[in-house]
Copies of this chain bind each other. A is one copy, B any other.
Amino acid sequence: MPKVGMEPVRRKALVDAALRVIGDQGTLAVTMSDIARRAGVSPALAHHYFGSKEQLLIETVRSLLRQLRDDTVTALNVAPTPREKLSALIRVSFQASQFAPDTVAAWLAFYSEAQRSEDVRRFLVVYARRLRSNLVANLKALCSVDDAERIAEGAAAMIDGLYIRQSLRSAPIGIEASIALTEDYVTSHLDQLHRQGRAK
């Protein structure tokens, strides 16, 4: 069995397994055994490569965020105009992979963990800032900085809120409806500024 060069393979397998287990159980209170079993290795190996559960969890948030960032960069590159970039940002937030019940559950778990772990909190703050600044940057092309910041704040809140409500699975809102609602928010506010002669 033992082959050389397994480290990166195992690390990735363990991080992926962690995300799946966390999504499944909807909590960070999963055991190293659960994660290791899902990754097909022994718990001891997980400790060997990550040192501690905390560290594995941190790598897991990091990985989730990296995925989202990469998707965002790609989507932004494809969209030509500021207005289309705004739509792209919204679409990426609700894309299937992000909006799947398991992923939503994992996000929620990380938000909760951020109350305790300064490291996890820092990562989530980075995500919040990035979304906000992407929105502001493109809104600025369409209205004043002040208005851009206000609209960005609202849109970001609406995106996060739709996630939370998705997590309850009571009246599943659906990807399309979520996108429409957020698009509508942005459009409606930009239109309003337009009528008031405050748009660019």
Chain A residues packing against B (C-beta within 8 Å) = 25-27, 29, 105, 108-109, 111-116, 121, 124-125, 128-129, 132, 150, 153-154, 156-165, 167-168, 170-171, 173, 177, 181, 184-185, 188-189, 191-192
Contact B114 A112 (CB under 8 A): no
**In the complex, which residue of chain B has the Cβ closest to the Cβ of A167?**
B111
Contact B161 A164 (CB under 8 A): yes
Assuming the contacts A156-B161, A158-B158, A161-B159, asked whether A167 and B115 have C-beta atoms less than 8 A apart, the reply is yes
Number of copies: 2
Say how far A13's CB is from chain B's closest CB, in angstroms: 24
Contact B162 A157 (CB under 8 A): yes
Assuming the contacts A114-B167, A160-B161, A160-B165, asked whether A154 and B181 have C-beta atoms less than 8 A apart, the reply is yes
Provide the bound-state CA to CA distance between A26 and B192, in Å. Answer: 40
Contact for A116 among B26, B115, B168, B177, CB less than 8 A: B26
Contact for A160 among B153, B164, B177, B188, CB less than 8 A: B164
Contact B158 A116 (CB under 8 A): no
Q: A111-B168, A164-B164, A188-B188 are in contact. List 10 more A-B contacts (CB 8 A).
A: A27-B112, A27-B116, A114-B167, A115-B167, A128-B165, A128-B171, A150-B181, A153-B177, A157-B158, A161-B164
